[in-house]
Amino acid sequence: MRSSKYVPPGHRTRPAFPALPARCAGLLVFLLLAGCSALPRIDLESILEEVLVRPGPGQPLSVERPGHFFTSSRGNPNWRVEVPVETGISYSRAVMEFDFVHGGYHSSLFHGLCNLRSDKLLVAVQIRADRSKTILDRGNGQSKGAAAPWQPGQRFHVKLTYDAAGRQNTFQLSTGGRVVQTLTAPTAGRPLATNRVLTFGLSQPRVADNAFFPLWGSRFYDLSIRVEP
């Protein structure tokens, strides 16, 4: 899976060549000396995407995926991105927003919508099909649920906030420009990022316990992740 670019607010990505890591620079020199026609085609764009503009210490991190970037299918059920958090910085809040077109249900039970993880699960959102219910999973075996107008085929906007400092999860669902649900629950008190690991995922990788299903057929758009110190 190709990593997403992230750019701190107020910055623009600069040309990658002056800041190429050593292995990329060596590869370019090798291509020039050996001649590209004798070599298999190499996706240089994917290599250069590893050159990232990082914010200064204590600045927010952001990940953006504009437009349509993922459709869940049986061959590719879930999507995730690693947020490049820094060692030694205490992060207070993460805000994840995206649009998705509901692709329908595959069971009367639970369907994974999204999740945020560090070394453990921080928060996850599931949809229970038979009750048209949002489930806000706190990551500690406890959850909170409430009915919502989950209509297959409809486009929704999701905003999920994990407030580590305030110890509060907030889920907000909108459709047609109108907020139709706001659901809150305490966090389990876990720090936002440990051991430089923070990942955000959509749908889920497999059917679990014959009760938790991916959102096969759902299409995802306009992802924005902001992580604040």
Contact 203, 78 (CB under 8 A): yes
* Closest C-alpha to 142, from 169, 112, 180: 169
Is the residue at 55 inside a domain? no
* CATH code where residue 179 lies: 2.60.120.560
Rounded percentage of the chain residues whose pLDDT exceeds 90: 67
Is residue 114 located within the same domain as residue 34? no
The whole-number pLDDT of residue 213 equals: 97
Is residue 166 located within the same domain as residue 81? yes
More confident residue, 160 or 89: 160
**Number of structural domains found in the chain:** 2
The whole-number pLDDT of residue 16 equals: 39
* Boundaries of domain holding 44: 17-48
Is residue 116 located within the same domain as residue 156? yes
Is residue 124 located within the same domain as residue 90? yes
At residue 49, does pLDDT exceed 80?
no
Is the residue at 56 inside a domain? no
The whole-number pLDDT of residue 181 equals: 98
Strand 143-147 with 178-186, pairing: unpaired
The whole-number average pLDDT for the span 185-207 is 91
Is residue 40 located within the same domain as residue 86? no
Is the residue at 159 inside a domain? yes
Is residue 38 located within the same domain as residue 118? no
Rg of the chain's alpha carbons, rounded to an integer?
Answer: 20
Is residue 38 located within the same domain as residue 99? no
The whole-number pLDDT of residue 43 equals: 43
Strand 110-117 with 93-101, pairing: unpaired
The whole-number average pLDDT for the span 65-90 is 94
CA atoms within 13 A on the CB side of 43: 5
The whole-number pLDDT of residue 26 equals: 55
The whole-number pLDDT of residue 193 equals: 83
Is the residue at 2 inside a domain? no
227: tokens are: 């992580």
Q: Count the neighbouring beta carbons within 10 Å of the beta carbon of residue 152.
A: 12
Which residues in 83-120 belong to E strands, given as ranges?
Answer: 93-101, 110-117
Average model confidence (pLDDT) for the chain?
A: 83
pLDDT band (50, 70, 90) for residue 40:
very low
Contact 116, 94 (CB under 8 A): yes
| Tens of pLDDT, residues 133-192 | 999 999 998 999 999 999 999 999 999 999 999 999 999 999 999 999 999 999 999 999
The whole-number pLDDT of residue 83 equals: 92
Q: Tokens 């008190």 belong to which residue? A: 189
The whole-number pLDDT of residue 55 equals: 63
| Tens of pLDDT, residues 16-32 | 334 444 545 554 444 44
At residue 6, does pLDDT exceed 90?
no
Q: Transcribe 146-175 into DSSP letters.
A: EE----TT-EEEEEEEEETTTTEEEEEEEE
The whole-number pLDDT of residue 56 equals: 66
Strand 110-117 with 212-213, pairing: parallel
| Tens of pLDDT, residues 102-145 | 999 999 999 999 999 998 999 999 999 999 999 999 999 899 99
Is residue 124 located within the same domain as residue 179? yes
Q: Cα(first)–Cα(last) distance of the chain, in Å?
A: 27
Is residue 43 located within the same domain as residue 121? no
Chain-centroid distance, C-alpha 202:
6
Is the residue at 72 inside a domain? yes
Is residue 118 located within the same domain as residue 215? yes
